Amino acid sequence: MLAIVRFLTLLIYFILMNSVLLLIFISRPFHRSSVALGGQWYGSMAKIMGLKVIVQGRHHVDPKQTYVCIANHQNSFDLITICKAAFNGVVTVGKKSLIWIPFFGLIYYFSGNIMIDRKNSGKARDTLKFTAKKILDGNFSVWFFPEGTRSYGKGLLPFKTGAFRIAEQTGKSLLMICASDTHHQIKWNRWNNGTVLVKFYEPEPLNLSMDIKGNTEHFHHKMETRLAKLTDEAKQLNRHIQA
């Protein structure tokens, strides 16, 4: 019964929230704080899911700097967990097909995010060039999910190289953002789904002694290690949750 009530509540809230966000973003298209605003509003849905999201390490974000952000991508609940960490001046890179999702697609576009056609390698390269230009000319940070798809409990998937090529072209540091493992944690029919930890880590430049492949593997290993530790910390907070 709880699952049905929660689903209907979330659906109504989601539709109303997106309607308001769409009006805001259309009235001020591509505003530099739109993604951060959307992240905070979507993060508010966590309460409906009986979930507490704690964001740590925001002090690592210098408002005078821009970054290439890399984050883990677990499942659809990322929208209400790790997206809460979005900050002013950041945009994301997502699939071009997102534009076709009712409400959300227009919101994603008008909030200034960058859409990439992964099926067309030529267009994808052009998008990466545009992304680098946007960082340098528009003073934006860009958020990547370097796994390229949701992991669904399979652990951290191999990284694609796009984020690291952008970091190389722009000379920007990589800002790692991790969310503790939510696989099997969130249940629709449970009142209290515990705590998810989202953490910013200190920005780090590319290692110039390595090529792109080497840096990609280096940061993958680093995120994998940090995720394991962060998930252990979250489990300690969630020991009281019943299976």
**Which pLDDT score, from 0 to 100, does residue 100 have?**
85
Indicate the average pLDDT of the chain. Answer: 91
Per the CB < 8 A criterion, the answer to whether 94 and 115 are in contact is: yes
What pairs with residue 195 in β-bridges? 52
Is residue 235 exposed (0-12), middle (13-18) or buried (19+ Cβ within 10 Å)?
Answer: middle
Per the CB < 8 A criterion, the answer to whether 157 and 146 are in contact is: no
Q: Which of 115, 127, 108, 126 is nearest to 30 (CA)?
A: 108
Pick the CATH number of 2-237 from 3.40.1130, 2.40.30, 3.30.70, 3.30.230: 3.40.1130
**Which pLDDT score, from 0 to 100, does residue 34 have?**
96
**Which pLDDT score, from 0 to 100, does residue 95 have?**
80
Domain positions in the chain: 2-237
Choice between 40 and 148, residue whose per-residue pLDDT is larger: 40
**Each residue of 175-220: pLDDT tens digit?**
999 999 999 899 999 999 999 999 999 999 999 899 999 999 999 9
**Each residue of 113-132: pLDDT tens digit?**
988 776 666 666 777 777 78
**Which pLDDT score, from 0 to 100, does residue 121 have?**
62
Taking the C-alpha atoms of 207, 208, 213 and 215 in order, what is their torsion angle to the nearest 10 degrees? 10
